[in-house]
Chain A
Amino acid sequence: MHNKTIAEISAGLKAGKFSSEELTQDLLARIDRIDGKLNSFVTVTAEQAQAAARAADERIKANKATPLTGVPIAHKDIFCTEGVKTSCGSKMLDNFIAPYNATVVERMHAAGAVMLGKTNMDEFAMGSSNETSFYGAVKNPWDLERVPGGSSGGSAAAIAARLVPGATGTDTGGSIRQPAALCGVTGLKPTYGRVSRYGMIAFASSLDQGGPFARTAEDCALLLNAMSGFDGRDSTSIDKPVPDYTATLKDSIAGLKIGLPKEYFSEGLDAGMAQAVEQAIDVYKSMGCEIKEISLPNTHLSVPAYYVVAPAECSSNLSRFDGVRYGYRCENPSDLTDLYERSRGEGFGSEVKRRIMIGTYALSAGYYDAYYLKAQQIRRLISDDFTQAFADVDVIMGPTSPTTAFKLGEKTDDPVSMYLSDIYTIAANLAGLPGMSIPAGFSNGLPVGLQLIGNYFDEGGLLAAAHQYQQQTDWHTHTPQGFA
Chain B
Amino acid sequence: MEWESVIGLEIHAQLATSSKIFSGASTAYGAVPNTQACAVDLGMPGVLPVLNQKAVLMAAKFGIAVEAEIARRSVFARKNYFYPDLPKGYQISQFELPVVGKGKLDVMLEDGSTKTIGITRAHLEEDAGKSLHEDFHGMTGIDLNRAGTPLLEIVSEPDIRSAKEAVAYMKKIHSMVRYLEICDGNMQEGSFRCDANVSVRPKGQKEFGTRAEIKNLNSFRFVERAINHEIERQIDLIEGGDKVVQETRLYDSDKGETRSMRSKEEANDYRYFPDPDLLPLEITEEMLESVRATMPELPDGKRQRFVSEYDLNEYDATVLTASRELADFYEATLRFSDADPKLVANWVMGEFSAALNNDAIEIADSPVNPEMLGGMLTRITDNTISGKIAKEVFEAMWAGEGAADDIIEKKGLKQITDSGAIEAMIDEIIANNPQQLEQFRAGKEKLFGFFVGQAMKASGGKANPAQVNDILKRKLKG
Q: Which residues of A contact B (CB under 8 A)?
A: 79-80, 86, 88, 93, 96, 98-100, 102, 197-202, 204-206, 232-236, 312-313, 315-316, 318-322, 324-326, 336, 340, 360, 363-365, 368, 372
Q: Is B434 an interface residue (CB 8 A)?
A: no
| CB–CB A316/B273 < 8 A | yes
**Given the complex, which residues of B lie within 8 Å of A322, measured CB to CB?**
82, 84, 89
Check B82–A340 contact: CB distance below 8 A.
yes
Residues A235 and B279 in contact in the complex (CB < 8 Å), given A200-B46, A336-B84: yes
Stretch of B36-44, B105-113, B299-307 that contacts chain A: B36-44
Q: A233-B50, A234-B50, A363-B80 are in contact. List 18 more A-B contacts (CB 8 A).
A: A86-B46, A205-B277, A234-B48, A235-B277, A236-B48, A236-B278, A312-B273, A313-B276, A316-B78, A316-B271, A319-B90, A320-B43, A322-B82, A325-B87, A363-B271, A364-B269, A364-B271, A368-B271
Report yes or no: B82 in contact with A201, Cβ–Cβ below 8 A.
no
- Distance A315 CA – B273 CA, assembled complex (angstroms): 11
Given A205-B277, A235-B279, is A320 in contact with B48 using a C-beta cutoff of 8 Å? no
- Are A100 and B39 closer than 8 Å at their CB atoms? yes
> Which of A98, A200, A322 has the most C-beta atoms of chain B within 10 angstroms of its own C-beta?
A322
Could you say which residues of chain A place their CB within 8 Å of the CB of B414? none
Which residues in A have their C-beta under 8 angstroms from that of B277?
A: 202, 205, 235-236
How far does the Cβ of B241 sit from chain A's closest Cβ, in whole Å?
32
Q: Known: A205-B276, A316-B80, A372-B273. Contact between A325 and B43, CB under 8 A?
A: yes
B44-65 near A? 1/0 per residue, CB < 8 Å: 1111111100000000000000
Decide if A233 touches B48 in the complex (CB within 8 Å).
yes
B45/A319 in contact, CB under 8 A: no
- B142 in the interface, Cβ–Cβ < 8 Å? yes
What are 25 of the A-B contact pairs (CB < 8 Å)? A79-B46, A86-B45, A98-B46, A99-B44, A197-B48, A198-B46, A199-B46, A202-B277, A205-B277, A206-B276, A235-B49, A235-B51, A235-B279, A236-B276, A315-B80, A316-B78, A316-B80, A316-B89, A316-B273, A320-B88, A320-B89, A326-B44, A363-B271, A364-B269, A368-B272
Could you say which of A88, A99, A202 contacts B39, with CB atoms under 8 Å apart?
A: A99
Report the Cα distance A198→B39, complex, angstroms: 11
- Residue on A nearest B80 in the bound complex, by CB: A316
Of the candidates B46, B50, B78, B272, the one having the most CB atoms from chain A within 10 angstroms of its own CB is B46
- Contact yes or no, A235 B84, CB < 8 A: no
Asked, given contacts A236-B277, A316-B89, A360-B271, whether A324 binds B84 with beta carbons under 8 Å apart, the answer is: yes
In residues 268-321 of chain B, which contact A (Cβ within 8 Å)? 269, 271-273, 276-279
Residue from A99, A206, A236, A320 having most chain B Cβ neighbours under 10 A:
A320
Identify whether the interface residues of A are mostly helix, strand, loop, or mixed.
loop
Q: Inside 8 A of A199's CB, which chain B residues have their CB? A: 46-47
Q: Known contacts being A319-B89, A322-B89, is A96 close to B273, with CB within 8 Å? A: no
CA distance A197 to B90 in the complex (A): 19
Q: Lowest 10 A-B CB distances belong to which pairs? A: A319-B89, A363-B271, A206-B276, A205-B276, A199-B46, A320-B43, A201-B45, A80-B46, A201-B46, A320-B88
Q: Do the beta carbons of A198 and B48 come within 8 Å of each other?
A: yes
On whether the beta carbons of A80 and B45 are closer than 8 Å, the reply is: yes
Q: Are A93 and B49 in contact (CB under 8 A)?
A: no
**Per a CB cutoff under 8 Å, which of A321, A324, A360, A364 touches B142?**
A324
Contact B279 A236 (CB under 8 A): yes
Inter-subunit contact A235/B273 (CB<8 Å): no
B267 to chain A, nearest CB (A): 10
B87 close to A235 (CB less than 8 A): no
Nearest-CB residue, chain B, relative to A79: B46
- The smallest beta-carbon distance between A238 and chain B, in angstroms, is 10
Given A319-B80, A340-B82: A198 touches B47 (CB 8 Å cut-off): yes
Residues of A within 8 A of B80 (CB): 315-316, 319, 363
B39 contacts across to A, CB distance below 8 A: 99-100
Contacts of A360 in B (CB 8 A): 271
Per the bound structure, the CA–CA distance linking A365 and B39 in Å amounts to 31
Q: Given the complex of chains A and B, what is the CA–CA distance between A98 and B45 in angstroms?
A: 8
* C-alpha spacing A360/B273, complex, angstroms: 11
How long is the Cα–Cα vector from A202 to B78 in the complex, in angstroms?
15
- Cβ contacts under 8 Å, B272 to chain A: 363, 368
B residues near A100, Cβ cutoff 8 Å: 39, 44
Tell me the bound Cα distance from A360 to B269 in angstroms: 10
Is A316 within 8 A of B84, CB to CB? no
Q: Which residues of A contact B271 (CB under 8 A)?
A: 315-316, 360, 363-365, 368
Closest residue of chain B to A368 (Cβ to Cβ) is B273
Taking the closest CB of chain B, its distance from the CB of A290, in whole angstroms, is 37
Contacts of A197 in B (CB 8 A): 46, 48
> Smallest Cβ distance from A413 to chain B, in angstroms?
29
* Complex: A100 Cα to B273 Cα, angstroms: 28
Q: Nearest-CB distance from B36 to chain A (Å)?
A: 16
- Shortest C-beta distance, B30 to chain A (Å), equals 22
B45 engages A320 (CB within 8 Å): yes
Docked complex Cα distance between A429 and B42 (Å): 29
Task: Return the chain A residue nearest B22 by Cβ.
Answer: A235
What's the nearest-Cβ distance from chain B to residue A237, in Å?
9
Q: Are A319 and B278 in contact (CB under 8 A)?
A: no
Q: How far, in whole Å, are A180 and B279 apart by their CA atoms in the complex?
A: 31
> Nearest chain B CB to A107's CB is how many angstroms away?
15
Which residues from A are CB-within-8-Å of B82?
A: 319, 322, 340
Bound Cα distance from A102 to B39, whole angstroms: 12
With A312-B273, A316-B273 as known contacts, state yes or no: A325 contacts B48, CB within 8 Å: no
Which residues from A are CB-within-8-Å of B45?
A: 80, 86, 88, 93, 96, 98, 201-202, 320-321, 326
CB neighbours (8 Å) of B46 from chain A are 79-80, 86, 98, 102, 197-202
B88 touches A319 (CB 8 A): yes
Map CB proximity to A onto B22-43 as digits: 1 under 8 Å, 0 otherwise: 0000000000000000010011
Given the complex of chains A and B, what is the CA–CA distance between A287 and B218 in angstroms?
A: 74
Q: Which residues of B contact A88 (CB under 8 A)?
A: 45
- Nearest opposing residue in chain B for A88, CB measure: B45
A235 touches B278 (CB 8 A): yes
Closest CB in chain B relative to A325 CB, distance in Å: 6
Tell me which residues across on chain B come within 8 A of A235, comparing CB atoms.
48-51, 277-279
- CB A379 to nearest CB in B, in angstroms, measures 12
Q: B42, B80, B277, B278 — which one has the most chain A CB atoms within 10 A of its CB?
A: B277
Of A93, A202, A204, A316, most B-chain CB atoms within 10 Å: A316
List chain A residues, Cβ under 8 A from B90.
Answer: 316, 319
For the complex, give the distance between the alpha carbons of A25 and B413 in Å: 94
Q: In the complex, what's the smallest C-beta–C-beta distance from A418 to chain B, in angstroms? A: 24
Q: Which residues of A contact B87 (CB under 8 A)?
A: 320, 324-325
CB distance from B38 to the nearest CB of A (A): 9
Most A CB within 10 A of own CB, among B47, B78, B90, B272: B47
CB-CB under 8 A from B142, the residues of chain A are 324-325
A199 to B39, CA, bound (A): 10
User: How many Å from the CB of A189 to the closest CB on chain B?
Assistant: 17
The smallest beta-carbon distance between A208 and chain B, in angstroms, is 9
Q: Which residues of B contact A234 (CB under 8 A)?
A: 48, 50
* Residues of B with C-beta under 8 A to A233: 48, 50
Across the interface, name the chain A residue whose C-beta is closest to B271.
Answer: A363
Closest A residue to B40 by beta carbon equals: A233
B102 to chain A, nearest CB (A): 24
Contacts of A326 in B (CB 8 A): 44-45
What's the Cα separation between A364 and B49 when bound, in Å? 24
- Min CB distance A253 to B, Å, is 34
Contacts of B278 in A (CB 8 A): 235-236
Interface residue from B50, B78, B276 paired with A232 (Cβ < 8 Å): B50
Q: Given the complex of chains A and B, what is the CA–CA distance between A198 and B50 in angstroms?
A: 11
Which residues on the B side are within 8 Å of A336 (C-beta)? 84
Give bound CA distance, A235 to B272, whole Å. Answer: 20
Q: Give Cα A79–Cα B46 distance, bound, in whole angstroms.
A: 8
Cα A205 to Cα B92 with chains together (Å): 14
The distance in angstroms between the C-alpha atoms of A167 and B273, with both chains bound, is 34
Say which residue of B42, B50, B51, B78 sits within 8 Å of A325 (CB atoms): B42
* A79, A200, A318, A363 — most chain B CB neighbours (10 Å): A363
